[in-house]
Structure 1
Amino acid sequence: DLLSRNRGPVVTPLLKSGELWPHQVAACKWLDNMTAACSCAALCSPFGGGACVAAVALVNGILSSPRGAEPPPVALIITESPRILRWKDELRKWAPHLTVEVAPRHAAADDPAWDVVLRADVVLTSADYALDDATRVRLERQRRY
């Protein structure tokens, strides 16, 4: 798992004497196991439950791990629209070395705004935007078949 695997340094936030809370460690381990198994995972937690800090620790660990010739990964964080700025603040606080961008809401695929977003380490978007986009893709596929 992330906390024992040799992936490179994992910088954890200074919570409770410099360590994550036990439930945040468990969340990191679970997320790491899920991402290792299928390259995707979703961690849901009530507001104030510590999911943000646990996710930042995991994202930092994954993005700082050696990748060889592979292109650097990009972390996509999907949250509620009102929480996007909170996530951006938390990422700046706990992992200031990561570049963070917010996906442009109504930009066309060829919009230059995407050039900046796609070079970021972390991309933030809202659940409603992701759902809208997923619905659009699904409907396009249905029309083709």
Structure 2
Amino acid sequence: MGDGSKPRQYSCGLEAALEVVGGKWKVLILWTLGSGPLRFGELRRQIPGISEKMLIQNLKEMEADGIVTRTDHKEVPPRVDYAMTAFGHSLCAALAPLCAWGQEHIERIDACRRAHEAREEAKRERVDA
């Protein structure tokens, strides 16, 4: 690092990995790009709920981390594609078992969350009574 800054110290590999995929959107962007390069608008349409600002910010961070490439085709109107790097593909492969686990347990996760919310609501009602 020629800028004089010290390399980041991680306590374990999981901490390093979570820094790269941290937040809700990065893993969804990565998973979406797993099917191949996409233009910005296509990517945004395939990730419901993400704002343009959030997509731009996350793509810049992912490009800086070396998991996504941005190709500007220098055309009018502008055409920019985003694609996963080999490094990004390796990360996506590591996330596949987590995705499978989530899919296998999606109903249980939802039921647990709903039960928790119901308990919390019941507590609030007792306090308000």
**TM-score if structure 1 supplies the norm length?**
0.24
| Greater RCO (Cα-Cα under 8 Å, separation 6 or more) | 1
| Larger Rg belongs to | 2
**TM-score if structure 2 supplies the norm length?**
0.26
More helix, by proportion:
2
